[in-house]
Amino acid sequence: MRFTDRVAIVTGAASGMALLSSQRYAAEGARVVLTDVNEEAVQAAAAEICAQGGEAIGVPVDVRDYEQVKGAVALALERYGRVDILLNSAGGASCRVFGRSERFHEIPIEIVDWGLDVNLKGAVYFCHAVLGPMIAQESGVVINMGSVDGVTGSYCLDYGAAKSAMIGLTKSLALYGAPHGIRSCCVSPGPVLTRPEMANMKTRLGRAAEPEEIVKLILYLSSDDAAFATGANYVIDGGRSIGGMT
C-alpha cells in the first residue's frame, strides 16, 4: 500500500496505461482523480474503481483548455485537500488519431496544432495548475509520459517533437521543484500492447510490452521507493531505441 492517503491526478485515464495506472494507484491506497475528454468513459472507469473498493472520481477534461484543467485540480483539492501525484498521460499520435498518411508539410496545420496541444501543452497546463498546491505542501511527484519516438524521432513530426519536449519539461520541473520536495520523472515506452498493431513494431527483445510492464515502472517512480529519482527519462522500449532496426 505505497500510496495510502495520497491523491493522484491522472490524465487520459479512460483507457490504456493511464486507466491501468489509475486502477493500480487506487489498489495501493490512493484516492484517484481520473480525467479524460471522454466524459462517459472516464466516469465509468472511476465507478469501476469504486466498485472494487477504491476511491476515485471521474472528471471530463479537455487538456487543451486551461480552465478545465484548473477546474479538475480545484475539484481534487476541494474533495481531498491535496495533490501528491500527477501522471500526465493524455496524448496520441495525430497522424494515427486522424488517419492521415500525407507527408508532414501536406497535413492541415489544425491537426499539427492538436498534436502539440494534446501531447505537450496539456501536460504543461496540468503542471502549472498543480505546482502551487505541491509547493505549499512541500511534496509531490510529476510523471510525464514520453515515448521512444521522443528519443529516436518520428515521421509524425509533431508527435516526435512533443514527446521529446516532455523530456525537457521533466528536467525543468525537477530543477524547479527540487527545493520544494517535488520530483519529476519521464517514462518513454516503446510499443505497448494497448492496440493490436503495436505487436508489429520491432524491438530488440522481439515483442511489444504488456501494459502492466510499463505501469509497474510508473508506480515505482511515483512512490517513495524512488525518492532519490528526479529529472531523468526512463526508456522502456525493449531495446528499440538502440538503433539498427530494419
**Domains (range + CATH), the chain:** 7-242 (3.40.50.720)
- pLDDT given at position 66: 98
> Is there a catalytic annotation at residue 159?
yes
User: Which residue in 194, 184, 174 sits closest to 91, CA to CA?
Assistant: 194
From 25, 80, 125, 159, the catalytic residue: 159
Question: Do 193 and 209 touch, CB atoms closer than 8 A?
Answer: yes
Total-model pTM: 0.96
C-alpha cell at position 140: 509531490
Q: pLDDT by residue (tens digit) across 47-60?
A: 999 999 999 999 99
Contact in structure between 33 and 57 (CB atoms under 8 Å): yes
What are the pLDDT digits (tens) for 154-212?
999 999 999 999 999 999 999 999 999 999 999 999 999 988 878 888 899 999 999 99
d(CA 182, CA 228): 11
Alpha-carbon torsion, ordered 48, 52, 57, 58, to 10 deg: -20
Interhelix angle for 16-27 vs 39-51, to 10°? 30
CA distances from 148 to 140, 206, 237 (A): 25, 16, 7
Closest CA to 131 of 217, 123, 166, 186: 123
| Helix 122-137 / helix 157-177 crossing angle, nearest 10 deg | 10
Quick check: 60 and 42 in contact, CB under 8 A?
yes
What is the reported pLDDT for 243?
76
Residue 246: per-residue pLDDT: 59
Q: Quote the pLDDT of residue 120.
A: 98
In tens digits, what is the pLDDT along the chain, a chain of 246 residues? 999 999 999 999 999 999 999 999 999 999 999 999 999 999 999 999 999 999 999 999 999 999 999 999 999 999 999 999 999 999 999 999 999 999 999 999 999 999 999 999 999 999 999 999 999 999 999 999 999 999 999 999 999 999 999 999 999 999 999 999 999 999 999 999 988 878 888 899 999 999 999 999 999 999 999 999 999 999 999 999 997 765
H-assigned helices in the chain: 16-27, 39-51, 66-80, 94-97, 109-116, 122-137, 149-152, 157-177, 211-222
Residue-level pLDDT at 245:
62
The half-sphere exposure of 50 on its side-chain side, counting CA atoms within 13 A, is: 12
Q: Are 6 and 29 in contact (CB under 8 A)?
A: yes
